[in-house]
Amino acid sequence: MSQQPAVAAAPPTAAGPAAYGIRPSAPAPAERSWLRELFAGTPGRMRLFAALASLAAVVFGLVGAWTLWSSAASLGKAEANTTQVVRVQAIVADLLRADADATNAFLVGGLEDPAQRADYEDAMGRVATAIATAAQAQPADGRALAALNVAVQDYAALVEQARAYNRQGLPVGAQYLTTASDGLRTTTLPILESLRVANTDRATGEFAAAGGIWVLLVVGLIAVLAITRVAVWLAGRTHRRFNVGLSAGHLLVIAALVVGVVILSGIGGEVRRIQDRQFAATLALTTARSAAYDARANESLGLIARGQASVKREPAWKSASAEVTTQLESLSTAISRPAGGTDLAAAWKAYTVAHAEVRALDDSGRWDEAVAKATAATESPRTSFSAFDTASATELAGLQQALATDTGAPTGRALATAVAVLLAGLAAAALASRGIAQRVEEYR
């Protein structure tokens, strides 16, 4: 019987990691090997330096553009805040104008001058509109403006009560009017002063930010030094003094830095001029007008007091008049047209002379004559005060227009330069990268 050959037993299979659910570790990715080769040796260092030069140029372009864009944004915010300051000052002036109308009209009993009453209503209407506009323009002032609105309504309510009693010939009307005027000065005007200070501080801060050059200067110098270091290393390694692409990028960054610094420095100079001239002049004239209305109101309140003006009202008048004079001097210093301030000073002087005549009549016991002179529509002090009012309003309109125009003028230059600096940074990065890439090819 033939014997079958023995079948060799299969060797036992060793259980590998896969048998236990364990995957063998993958080899290093091909990308890592490619990166090592890319940056290995002198060509690799050239590529690293190319990346450094390109990064420096791009960062400079981005930071420079952001700095100039921020300057333009700050100018916009400064314009908004200066407008809010002027708006607040206009509210002060209109409230005191309304008070001057109300107190002067009160002197003639129930027969109010229709023109004065219309002027009072116009002034209060402008106050209401300006408060609503101010709340929309500057949300940060919302709480103070809400309190201001309540105070203005309280004032208007007291004035209407005073008018009602005055038409009936009841002396209590004088007390209501005095309470309204005093409350205006102790409650309402302090709110407006806090708003003026807050918005002036905001405007000053934005003006300062608009002309700041340090961020652009520091980042630009770092970029220039970084590219210079790359150029020196490349020249030493390749024994060639210049690299066209790298040198062109280098010069482009330097040119963009110089242009950016010049533009920002110019904006800073313009901002300082605006602050020292248009803004200062506008504040001076709005303050002068407010003080003038305050003086006019105190003149009438002094007559309403019947012999008691020297106790409170005349000192208040003198203080307001002195403020007008001081602010008109500041106006003449700030603006390039000092004749405007001089003309206003002459107009105010004419009013103060007429006021002195009213005071002399009242102090000598001729109260009826003093009231007649103070309220006559065709005589001074009403005519002289009206002349000052008209002249100062015309001057203020010109200053406000100049302030808005000059504040917004540098914005376009800042934005255009921001775009130019950004493009210069990107172009410099491309040129530097291309220039060093040529050296890598030559090195091979």
Distances (CA, A) of 200 to 197, 206, 238, 404: 5, 10, 59, 15
HSE, CB side, 13 Å, CA atoms: give it for residue 440. 20
Asked if residues 325 and 345 have their Cβ atoms less than 8 Å apart, the reply is yes
Distance CA 432, CA 425 (A): 11
Burial 349-359 (b: 16+ CB within 10 A, else e): ebbbebbebbb
HSE, CB side, 13 Å, CA atoms: give it for residue 137. 22
Alpha-carbon dihedral angle through residues 322, 323, 329, 333, given to the nearest 10 degrees: 160
Burial 282-295 (b: 16+ CB within 10 A, else e): bbbbbbbbbbbbbb
| Phi-psi group of 195: left, alpha or beta (phi > 0 → left; psi -120 to 50 → alpha; rest → beta) | alpha
Residue 311 has a pLDDT of 73
Residue 168 has a pLDDT of 81
> Residue 313: which residues within 8 A CB-CB, separation 6 or more?
298, 299, 301, 302, 305
HSE, CB side, 13 Å, CA atoms: give it for residue 300. 28
Asked if residues 68 and 217 have their Cβ atoms less than 8 Å apart, the reply is no
Residue 69 has a pLDDT of 95
* Average pLDDT per 10 consecutive residues for the chain, totaling 444 residues: 46 49 52 52 77 93 95 92 92 92 82 85 95 94 95 95 85 88 93 94 90 92 93 77 86 95 93 90 92 91 80 89 94 69 84 93 89 88 92 90 89 94 95 82 65
Distances (CA, A) of 215 to 65, 67, 211: 11, 7, 11
**Structure tokens of 13?**
């299979």
Query: pTM for the whole thing?
Result: 0.78
